[in-house]
């Protein structure tokens, strides 16, 4: 019997319910930025990684990443206790894919922002308005990258 206490069918149903887009954190960021007058496109398939928010006129994209699925080094990320090799391989591939997509976007002139789940929930969360402020300030600037996590917000030229 697997270390998992849930049946395979139940686990499959649970995993199928995990969304890749239109998540609660993404919807909250989208709504707040829209209220501040920012207009954007969603999940453009012609861009690497299908960014969550695409600000064409500002040459900027924002990804709203879940800490677990993207292997963020924070308190929300924990390696699963069962099937360790599978999860290390899967999350490792996700991290490498993110890196390659960011590189391609940067090489084609896009500015890249990432808002991590831990910035919005958990013990190190920031104020929601503060996260949106960071995004808004970055969007109005010429700064190349923005990373907002529960630890801090970082912008790089």
Which CATH class for the 20-156 domain? alpha beta
Residue 6 has a pLDDT of 73
**Cα–Cα nearest to 51, from 3, 110, 10:** 110
Residue 136 has a pLDDT of 98
Task: Tell me the domain boundaries of the chain.
Answer: 20-156
- The C-alpha atoms of residue 55 and residue 63 are separated, in whole angstroms, by 12
pLDDT of 15 higher than 80: no
Read off the DSSP letter of residue 125. P
pLDDT of 1 higher than 60: no
Higher-confidence position of 55 and 4: 55
Residue 68 has a pLDDT of 93
Taking only the tens place, the pLDDT of each residue in 42-95 is 999 999 999 999 999 999 999 999 999 999 999 999 999 988 899 999 999 999
């Amino acid at each position: 019997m697997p270390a998992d206490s849930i049946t395979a069918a139940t686990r499959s149903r649970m995993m199928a319910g995990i969304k890749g887009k239109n998540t609660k954190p993404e919807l909250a960021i989208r709504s707040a930025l829209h209220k501040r007058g920012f207009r954007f496109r969603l999940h453009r398939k012609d861009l690497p990684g299908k960014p969550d928010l695409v600000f064409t006129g500002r040459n900027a994209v924002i990804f709203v990443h879940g800490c677990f699925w993207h292997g963020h080094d924070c308190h929300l990320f924990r390696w699963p206790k069962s099937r360790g090799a599978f999860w290390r391989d899967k999350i490792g591939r996700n991290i490498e894919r993110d890196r390659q997509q960011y590189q391609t976007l940067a090489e084609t002139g896009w500015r890249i922002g990432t808002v991590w789940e831990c910035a919005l929930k958990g013990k190190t969360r920031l104020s929601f308005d503060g996260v949106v402020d960071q995004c808004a300030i970055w969007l109005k600037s010429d700064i190349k990258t923005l990373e907002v996590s529960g630890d801090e917000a970082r912008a790089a030229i």
